[in-house]
Structure 1
Amino acid sequence: MTDETAVELRWCKSSYSGNEGGECLEVALSPTTVHVRDSKDTAREGLALTPAAWTAFLGLTAP
């Protein structure tokens, strides 16, 4: 991940977690990075994205 790994991240589970299929994720925000991980395997390393990359992934327009 990034140098922010030393900081305790506050993970938020997707509102779709627990639905059929079990494909769920968690997201944690920090000032410079959006962290994404698999909610079923939280010990596995996740992704560290820039806010712009996360916005593009969601298909939103940046402010």
Structure 2
Amino acid sequence: MLDDSRDPQFVPDIAWFKSSYSGANTTECVEIAVARDDVLIRDSKRKDSALVAVRADAWAGFIASLRQVSSG
């Protein structure tokens, strides 16, 4: 059963932002927002479509692994 308390529609004033790697004319982009204990991810072109929600600690681990790979 879906926990409605984690539904982004129940979180007021979510601030979405694009990746720093996204340019003004980029068509392939995601936006993220922090909502309670989760990080929400959506397609910037389809803002009303489905979201992906991941736990904030899982997101932090994902970002740390990207930084490790990029620093080589």
Instruction: Work out whether 1:35 is the aligned partner of 2:40.
Output: yes
TM-score where L is the length of structure 1: 0.72
Q: SS at the partner of 2:37?
A: coil
RCO comparison, higher one (Cα < 8 Å, 6+): 1
- Structure exhibiting the larger radius of gyration computed from Cα positions: 2
Q: Which contiguous aligned blocks of 4+ residues in structure 1 show a shift greater than 4 angstroms?
A: none
The alignment's C-alpha RMSD in Å is: 2.4
Aligned length in residues: 60
Name the CA distance, whole Å, in 2 between partners of 1:49 and 1:17.
25
Alpha carbons of structure 1 residues 25 and 51: separation in structure 2 relative to 1, 3 Å: same
Instruction: Name structure 2 gaps, 5 residues minimum.
Output: 68-72
Matching residue within 10, 17, 41 for 1:6: 10
User: Taking every aligned residue pair, what percent have the same amino acid on both sides?
Assistant: 34
How far 1:17 moved relative to its partner?
4.2
Q: Compare the two structures and name the one with the higher helix fraction.
A: 2
